[in-house]
Every structure is written in structure tokens, then in C-alpha cells.
Structure 1
Amino acid sequence: MVLVSAVRDYVYRMLQDISGMKVLILDSQTVSIVSVVYSQSELLQKEVFLVELIDSISKSKESMSHLKAVYFLRPTSENIQYMRRQLSNPRFGECHLFFSNMLKDTQIHLLADSDEQEVVQQVQEFYADFISVDPYHFTLNMPSNHYYILPAVVDPSNLQHFCDRAVDGIGAVFLALKRRPIIRYSRASDIAKRIAHETAKLMYQQESGLFDFRRMEMSPLLLIVDRRDDPVTPLLNQWTYQAMVHELIGIQDNKVDLRSIGKFPKDQQEVVLSSEQDAFFKANMYENFGDIGMNIKRMVDDFQQVAKSNQNIQTIEDMAKFVDNYPEYRKMHGNVSKHVTLVTEMSKIVEERKLMLVSETEQDLACNGGQVAAFEAVTNLLNNESVSDIDRLRLVMLYALRYEKESPVQLMQLFNKLASRSAKYKPGLVQFLLKQAGADKRTGDLYGNRDFLNIARNMARGLKGVENVYTQHQPLLFQTMESIIKGRLRDVDYPYVGNHFQQGRFVAIYKVIELFWESLQ
């Protein structure tokens, strides 16, 4: 049940059986789906000599009858209209149509009516309607996914589009993995309930035949949760490699754009950071920042040894050996340069923003009690000229989430201090956060102070201490998955959809989540 392999298999099947020179035509979303699992060199090996976006190629009238067109598109109304126009005046000798999700009958009829010259050789559904950023995690790349928390001001059609895209993506994941799950959701979230019920309707009613897979001894679990249940985790500065790159520089479709942080050679302005293509990154993506520095030093030392041996070329045999090993040497050089650059730039950001100082207080706010000490620490950091505006806002938000019920007077003082020091961040942002994700809106025990077992666990951890004060916080998701594995996830907080119910100790868990849990250990 590895997501990258599932999508790679779909792309392989699209390209392998179509011989000859091909053009691969994608849309703005499928280009991300393909790019994270297939490199340009791999596409060339499949005789793909041109990759184009469907909206761009629709504007061109140049005939390419010598090429076979492989379309991989989302089955949206817009893409169907693009296809109808292209089929009515075809530019390619053959057209092979692949859609990333389920086609409606009406869409198939529209395509058939437009194909008067019969250039379409096949139409297939390949369920890869998600971006598999690594083997166990996927995203749907929805840039407006925050709209769902703005029901009073957002256009209802946008909210429906958000739900439809989420259901489409979830459905495609389970079709790719050939599983039909039991579905649960976060009780306090209307949007989680809506997505859960619409997903169940898709799997068990509308397309029950597609999802009629062989029954497993243990059914997988799909749990729909709301980001508002844990507003703390995204407010904390992170200290593991992948999370730091994403937080401080940014990762999009496994690519890191370095142009915004400095001037770099052209071949280093955008680098690929993928666990499937980079062995060092795969081994270190969850390591903390201190260990990363030492591991990169060892990688640099190894590269220097290889470089010295390549400089000692004295015979024809030495030269031939160097030529044979040159591609691997060049790849190693690029890898070393990439990781040294990333860690160097992140080190500069950590120092400039005093993130180690800020993070220590953030972790205390997330993990420990003590309102008086917390108020003093946050006040001191708000007064610190080296602390950035965004970090000041985060600190006040973390304080507000922790002590919203305990210290309204002190909270107002922090609002005023924030307004005076960081003019572009208004206190209204903090108040909006409390309105959307405050204690009254959340499911679960975010701070571990309502459930006796969580209180005991926190006390034990406090007595033993923590190895690293910067990584002592555990996301609520960690506790949630622990409860799933032990069969302790409360039905009242996370109800089932339909007639599914718990019998004895529930240990069935969707493999993607199970492996993610193991990576957190």
C-alpha cells in the first residue's frame, strides 16, 4: 500500500503500451501528480519528447500528426471542454485519454460526439487523483483549503468545491490501494462530518461496484479530522529536517525554490527534495537539526575522499574508470551541494530570527503549565527587537490558546503589546483563531489535561525530563493514532458513518496511518 508506487504504476501503464514518439498533455494539477513520481529523464526513456499543459497546447494550431498524444487530466468540466475543442480539430495522429478519477456518462458521450475523425484510441480511468509526496503521505494541493473556516463570508459554491475535491481525492486513494474503509470523523467539525458522509455515499452507494474489493480480515480505517482540533502544532517552529525546510523555505511538489532567499547558480535555484530520489534525504528527513549538521559533515568528508581519488588520474585505466563513474560522481556532487546549501540557509534564518530562543518558549506554552512564567516569557520576547513579527504573532496565539479561559486581563495586555510592536498583525487575528479553534470548538484533549491517562503520562514525562526541549511537543494526531491502535478512540468524539460499530478491541488501522505512526516513534 505504497502511494508513490501506485501512481508510478499508473503512469507506467499509460506510456509503456503506446509505442513511438509521444507528447504528454497534462493539466495544472496532474502535472504535479506526475512530476513527484517521474523525472524528466524517465519520461524520455518512455519516448515522451514533449510535455505540455492542456490550456497552452489549446492555443497552438501547429499540426503534430507524427506524434501520439497521451492526455492525463482531471475529469473536470473545463478539461472536457478543452478536449472537445481539440478533438473537433485534431493536431495529433492518435489520442489516448486517461483521466485521474471517475468520468460521468455525460462526459463520455460529449467526448464521443466530438471525436468525428476517430483519433481517440482509448479512454481509461486511472485513479491517481492525488499528489503522493512520499510513500505514505499525499496532498490534494488545494490552495484555498482555509475557506472552510469562513462560512459567513465565503461563497457556498467554493465550500462545495472544497468538499467535492476532498471526496474525489480520498476516493482515488482508496481505489488506487484497492480498499474500502470504515469511516469515522471528528464530531465537533461540520466539515469533517460532511466529507465523511459524502465519501461514504460515494463508496457504499453511488460507486459501490468500483469499491467492491475482496474483504480483508481487518478493515482499513479512514478518519476525517479537522485542523482546528489541533491549532498548536502548525504554530510551532519545527526542528526536523523536512519540516524545517518546509517551514523556513518552502516545499512544493517535492521541489524547493531557493530564488526567494538568495542568488544561486542557475542549476541550484530549484532543487528536488524527494525521499524516493535522494537517499540522504530519505535517511535524514525526520532527524533533528543538530544531527543533520553532523550527518552532512560526514557526507562532505566522503565526497572529498571520492574527489581526491578522481584527481589522481595517471593511466588510461584510471581515466576509463573515472568516465564510467562520472554520472554517479556528478550526482553525488549535486547532492552534497544541495544539502549544504539548504542547511546553511536555514542556519542563517534560525540565527537572524532567534528561533532557538523563541522555540523554547513555544514548547513551554504547548507542553507545560505555569501561566505567570509564560506571560513573562512571551512579554520579554515581544520586546526583543530580534524576534520577527510572525514569531511574535505565533507566541501570542499559543498563549491565547493555552490560557484563553484563565487570564483574560493578561491576554489583553499581550494584544496591546502585539499591536504596538507588529503593526501589520492585528490582535483580531488572535481573536479569530480563538473563535475558530478555541477550547469550545475542539474535539479531543489537546493539552492532555482532561483525561486521567493523559495527565498521568504528562506527569511521568515531566519527571523523566525530555531529551530535547525543542522537540518535546507531540501533536494531537500522535495521541489519536495511539488511541486507535489500542482500541480506545471514543465513539462519542469520533462517531462512525453508517452502521459500522466497534466490536471488542478495534485494532484495524489504515496502513498509511499505521506507518506514519511508526515514523513518529
Structure 2
Amino acid sequence: MAPPLSAAADNPWALRSRQLSAISRMINLDREEADASGVGWHDPWKVLVYDSFCRDVISPLLKVGDLRKRGVTLHLLLDAEREQIADVPAVYFLRPTAANARRVAADVAGGLYESFHLNFTPSIPRPLLEALAAETLEAEVVSHVSRVVDQYLSFVSLEEDLFSLQLPRAYPALLSPKSTDSEVEAAVDEVASGLFSVLVTLGAVPVLRFSRRGPAQAVAEKLGARLHAQLRSHTSLFSGAAAASLQRPLLLLVDRSEDVGAMLQHGWSYSSLAHDLLGLRLNRVSLSEAVDGGGSRARSYDLHESDAFWTEHMGSAFHVVASDVDERLQQYRKAMDEISAGGAAPLEAEALGNATKALQSTIAQLPELQEKKRLLDMHTSLATEMLGQIKARSLDSFYALEETLLEGRALSADDRQTLSQLLDPTGGGAEAQGGTAEDRLRLLLLVALRRSLQPGTFPPGEAEQFESRLAAAGADLRPLQGLRRLLSLAEAAAPPTATPPPPPAANTFGGLMSLARRVGDTGVSALAAGLKTMLPSKRETPVTRAVGALMDNKGAAEEGAYGYIDPKIGDTDGAGAATGRGRGPYGAAIVFVVGPGNHLEHMTLRERSKQPSSAGPARRVVYGCTELLNAEAFLSLLSPLAAA
């Protein structure tokens, strides 16, 4: 079940609720839904037609049952073969491309539906609109088009504070030296257009701060110019609750090259482990499960706001999730035992009335208990699969070294020995056999990243020996060459600004497998008992450090490293001077990574926003990126850069 649309009223920065409200109005033909008393608009039956991008926009927000409640009898892809249903209206939700416009014109001319409600996101260009109008006029079917609406919904919101622009081709186009000027400009425009949709949905005109490394500056300048032009011509797009708040938010655009390590490190939270280990995409994971008679089948699970356990634990460390799954399973069994015991004893005649009431109450509780059991079974399956991978791949050893490398701490003799063992897939001992080829490659890339940031960390020739070992074992080292290319491109764009060393961090997975081996392979509850003292990392990342400094707005070292644009006055100050700017702290920020992001970085920012600051307890941070990628996909993205 989707969350109530009124949820957005309580939090002006609840992006998911606001996008859901906008999509619901679109599906309801721009009419208000009926309230609980039945007063208001009642949905007619209708057909929903979308392209693959808009399907991905809707799927995390509305499931099949939610669409049915809104009167959608069929939901179909535009390019699929569709039969004529001449007595129902159709709601189209599409990207404004020439191919989509031609297909819409053909549908209208063919009388596929009773009427056509056309919604384009972000907005349909005038030449394309005129071409669509000309084709329908020529076929004499223009009266069948009830409305054409510009929607600004070109992003996927997965949580109230998490979104993706779902643009897999944008960042490679921005990075590759082989990209033409027109390809780079188109990619910048796509990213800026997606961010414009986010701001329209929130009803906010932020102050822009942007990294002067990589393509973040080009996106910021494009977005700032568009916001400025929009505010001069038409301000009604920005009239939401966020626009009515006393203070404008900060929009911070950072380039992925500022913190590549976040894409390579193993996660610690439930959501980041689901993303990294289970391939979480659009709030859905698939597991391979054994079936009777041998073989296996894939089973999909949805993880969204209606799942109270997921909402509560997506940012929790694994040991907390394992412990709470076991505790709630015990609570469920206790509740079922009480229900069973209630009908075991024979009843006296005078107790019959009370027994009937108790039976009615029991019957009413059963559906809720069954749903709780279904969710608990799902999370037990997910936690068990995660535990199996953590144990088989020795991720505790990998994570401990990753933290050491990213913190900048000196490597001890034991660290160097463990590093050598983990990077040698042919070495002896169980420790050396832990990890997959991908795990070892990720660790090698973090070694290369540490060397680029702190030359002299490793003795001459030591890091090269690590590369040789993996190459001899058949590892594909193109991602390593791609990483070096990415860092060189960022260095050429602007030399990195010196930043203070991050504080030491707590270790999440350190010793996890030794604990697991002590308690034995007896299930999630046994593991939970041994992990109660494990804590997630508190290490500051380059992005969280910049967010904190710029939201505090106290003229920290980061002030000069980030450009400034105020779209309301068209003010651009790449040098970061403070003349004419407010000095109050920001209570809300939108942090956008120009490039891929992941759930680990999202959770890190969420935890950082909870810490006390000069902005007070109401500080809110929304995180977004061009696309959400786990480490496996990020390595695939780096590979083509090796040949650039």
C-alpha cells in the first residue's frame, strides 16, 4: 500500500510523497481523489500507457493494487502491441521524444481509446508539440486529445530523501574524451533537466554550490540559468510548501571523482548490503531459492515504505537487523500460541458470549499477523543470504582494510600481511581464499586511490606486485586503468583542494567472521547474539565534510572550493567570495552527485544529518545522483575509460 498523500504536508522536503501526489493527480485526470467519506472525485476506469523510463518512475511508488484503486485496469508499455479499447480513456505518461510522439499520433489516429490525456516529462518542446498537433489535425482526430500537460517528474524517488535521475549514459558521456561537444552538451542538459524536475516537485528555488572539479560546474551553470529564466517568465512552478518556508535550501553539486572510494567500499547498513550483495534496484531484490525436486527459481521481494521493518532498519547495521528479525519472529510465535491456547479449553455456557467476542477479535487479528509473518519471512531470507555471502567472502577482512585505506591511517605489519593475502587469490590458507575476484579488484582500486592521494604509502614496487598477482590470476584490470583515467581527468579539471584529515572511524565488520565462526552456522539469531557490540563507521567522507561545512555556512575551508549561484538574482561567483551572501545556516540541503551514487553514501549522509549542528534539530538532507550503481556496475562503468 502506498503511503497517504498527506504525508507530504508534514515535511516539505518529503520528495517521494510529493512525487506520488503529482502522479496520482495525473492518473486521476488532474482531479482530487475521494476522501475517506467518499466525498470528491471517483476514479473512472482507464488505461495507463508509459515508456520504459516512466514505468521506472512509477514502479517504486505504485504497485498493481495501488493502480487498481486509482481506476487503472491496464498498464502497458507504449511500444508493446496493444488492442483497441474504444470505450475507456487513456492516460499517457512519456518522455518527449520524436519516436514517442509519432507512436502517440498513430494511437490517436487509430482510435485506440475513447480519449487521450497526454503527459510528457519533463516538458514537450514546442516543435514536437506542433508536429503532434499537425498529425492529429491531418487525421481529423484532434478532438480525441483531451489534454496535453507538461509534467516535471523526470526522476525516480526511492525514499523521501533519496532519488535517482536514472540516466545511465549521462556520466560516461561527460567523462569520455571521445564525446563530441554536442554529446556533452546533451548530457549536461539531461542532468540539469532532471534536477529541475526535482526542484519543481519540491517547489523550491535553492542556492547552488558546486564543485569546480569535473562536470558539476557545467550542470550547475545550466541549471542556474534555467531557474533564473523560469523565475523571470513564470513563477507558478515553484509554489509548493518548500517555497513557502522561511529559508531556501542549499543545492550542493559534487563530482563523483571527489569520493570514488564510496563506490568501491563494502557497505555496512541493511540497504547498502542489499544493494551491494543482492542487487537492489528500484526497491526490489531477487533471490534464487531451491524448489522441491531439485533446481531453483528466482523470487522477487519489494522493499518500500509500507514495509515497517524495512523503513525502520534500512539504515541499521547488519547485527541489529539480524537481532530484530529473530526478536519479532519470537513475538509472532507467542501471539499465535496465545490464539491457539484460547480455544483449547472447553467453555462453560455462561462464558460463551465472552468466547464469541474473543473469537471475533482473533479473526480480526489474523490478516495482520499473517502479513507480519510474510514480511518477517522475507527479511529472514534476505538476512540469511547476506550472512552467507559475508561469511563465504570474508567481508570483515576486506572492510577493515578498506576503512584503514580510506581513513588514511598507517598500515601496520598485520594490515600489510592481510592485504597481501587478500590480494593473492592463489595464496595458501583460508584467509587468502576469501573474497571473489570482484572483491579483490575493489580492494586493489582502493590501494591505487590511497597511493594517488598519499604518495609514498607503499614501498616502491609493492603495489605493482599486487597488480601482477591479480593479472596472473586472470583478473580484468581495465577498471584500474579506468580509475586512473578518471582521477587524471579530475586533476586536469581543477587541482584538488587540500582538506583536513578525517577523524578515525569505528569498524563495522572488524572481527565479524571470527564471531560467526565462534557461534557456528546456526542461523540469524545466533549471529545476532555475537554482534551486539558492532557499530557502523563514523568516518567523515569528503562529501559529508563538504555538506556539513556549507550547511553551517561559517566560511570554512570548503567555502573557497565551491562555486556559488543564486538563481533568483542570476548571481554567479565561482571564486566563492562572501560579498552580499547570507551567513545563516541552512536547515535543508539537496546533495546531488554528478555521476553514480549508492545506498552506502545515502546512509552516510542521512546519519551525518542527524548530528547536532548550528542549523538546529530540523536539518534535512535529500540525496540524489545520475543513477544508483552497486560496485559491480561501477567497475563496468570504469572499464571503457581505460581505452579512452
CA distance in 1, matches of 2:557, 2:97: 37
Which stretches in structure 1 are left out of the alignment for 5+ residues? none
Tell whether 2:517 aligns with 1:493. no
CA shift, 1:361, in A, is 1.2
CA shift, 1:442, in A, is 8.7
Distance 1:279 1:440, change over 3 A: same
Decide which moves more: 263-272 or 175-184. Answer: 263-272
1:413-424 superposed matches below 5 A: 413-421=465-473, 423-424=474-475
TM-score relative to the length of structure 1 = 0.87
1:284-363 superposed matches below 5 A: 284-312=313-341, 314=343, 317=357, 319-363=359-403
Tell whether 2:155 aligns with 1:133. no
Q: Counterpart of 1:4 in structure 2: which amino acid?
A: R
Could you tell me which residue of structure 2 aligns to residue 435 of structure 1?
A: 485
Decide which moves more: 145-154 or 337-346. Answer: 145-154
CA shift, 1:169, in A, is 0.9
1:183-194 superposed matches below 5 A: 183-189=208-214, 191-194=215-218
Contact 2:252 2:590 (C-alpha < 8 Å) held by counterparts = no
Decide which moves more: 12-21 or 209-218. Answer: 209-218
CA distance in 1, matches of 2:269, 2:493: 27
Of 409, 425, 430, 2:476 maps to 425
Distance 1:305 1:216, change over 3 A: closer
1:50-449 superposed matches below 5 A: 50-56=74-80, 59-60=81-82, 62-115=83-136, 116-117=140-141, 118-148=143-173, 150-154=175-179, 158-189=183-214, 191-205=215-229, 208-211=232-235, 213=238, 217-259=246-288, 262-263=289-290, 269-274=299-304, 276-312=305-341, 314=343, 317=357, 319-371=359-411, 373=413, 374-383=415-424, 384-404=432-452, 405-406=455-456, 407=458, 408-421=460-473, 423-426=474-477, 428-437=478-487, 440=491
Contact 1:2 1:135 (C-alpha < 8 Å) held by counterparts = yes
Contact 1:366 1:402 (C-alpha < 8 Å) held by counterparts = yes
Contact 1:363 1:470 (C-alpha < 8 Å) held by counterparts = no
CA distance in 2, matches of 1:204, 1:478: 28
Distance 1:22 1:410, change over 3 A: same
Contact 1:360 1:469 (C-alpha < 8 Å) held by counterparts = no
Contact 2:210 2:254 (C-alpha < 8 Å) held by counterparts = yes
Distance 1:372 1:387, change over 3 A: same
Decide which moves more: 209-218 or 339-348. Answer: 209-218
CA distance in 2, matches of 1:127, 1:356: 43
- Find the residue that maps to 1:280 and give its secondary structure: helix
Could you tell me which residue of structure 1 aligns to residue 600 of structure 2?
A: none
CA distance in 1, matches of 2:587, 2:185: 29
- Find the residue that maps to 1:166 and give its secondary structure: helix
Distance 1:354 1:494, change over 3 A: same
CA shift, 1:150, in A, is 4.1
- Find the residue that maps to 1:225 and give its secondary structure: strand
CA distance in 1, matches of 2:436, 2:611: 30
CA distance in 2, matches of 1:312, 1:215: 56
Of 517, 520, 543, 1:477 maps to 543
Tell whether 2:518 aligns with 1:518. no
CA distance in 2, matches of 1:234, 1:251: 15
Of 5, 8, 11, 2:23 maps to 11
Number of matched pairs: 502
Distance 1:325 1:512, change over 3 A: farther
Contact 1:480 1:489 (C-alpha < 8 Å) held by counterparts = no
CA distance in 1, matches of 2:479, 2:611: 31
More helix by share: 1
CA shift, 1:208, in A, is 4.2
- Find the residue that maps to 1:95 and give its secondary structure: strand
Q: Counterpart of 2:609 in structure 1: which amino acid?
A: E
CA distance in 1, matches of 2:63, 2:211: 38
CA shift, 1:499, in A, is 1.9
- Find the residue that maps to 1:106 and give its secondary structure: helix
Cα offsets for 1:208-250 (capped at 9, x unmatched)? 4345646864332222111111011111111111111011001
CA distance in 2, matches of 1:263, 1:78: 43
Could you tell me which residue of structure 2 aligns to residue 458 of structure 1?
A: 503
Structure number with higher relative contact order (C-alpha < 8 Å, ≥ 6 residues apart): 2
Distance 1:14 1:146, change over 3 A: closer
CA shift, 1:158, in A, is 4.7
CA shift, 1:109, in A, is 2.2
Q: Counterpart of 1:499 in structure 2: which amino acid?
A: D
Distance 1:92 1:473, change over 3 A: same
Tell whether 2:81 aligns with 1:28. no
- Find the residue that maps to 1:430 and give its secondary structure: helix
- Find the residue that maps to 1:492 and give its secondary structure: helix
CA distance in 2, matches of 1:126, 1:95: 16
Distance 1:231 1:9, change over 3 A: same
CA distance in 2, matches of 1:319, 1:161: 65
Distance 1:240 1:41, change over 3 A: same
Contact 2:85 2:112 (C-alpha < 8 Å) held by counterparts = yes
Contact 1:100 1:125 (C-alpha < 8 Å) held by counterparts = yes
TM-score relative to the length of structure 2 = 0.72
CA distance in 2, matches of 1:376, 1:25: 58
Measured on the aligned residues, the alpha-carbon RMSD in Å equals 3.0
Decide which moves more: 433-442 or 73-82. Answer: 433-442
Could you tell me which residue of structure 1 aligns to residue 524 of structure 2?
A: none
Contact 2:216 2:254 (C-alpha < 8 Å) held by counterparts = yes
Distance 1:479 1:490, change over 3 A: closer
CA shift, 1:78, in A, is 2.5
Contact 1:481 1:517 (C-alpha < 8 Å) held by counterparts = no
Distance 1:444 1:337, change over 3 A: farther
Contact 1:484 1:509 (C-alpha < 8 Å) held by counterparts = no
Contact 1:80 1:111 (C-alpha < 8 Å) held by counterparts = yes
Contact 2:407 2:539 (C-alpha < 8 Å) held by counterparts = yes
Contact 2:249 2:590 (C-alpha < 8 Å) held by counterparts = no
Which stretches in structure 2 are left out of the alignment for 5+ residues? 1-12, 32-41, 344-354, 425-431, 511-532, 592-604, 613-644
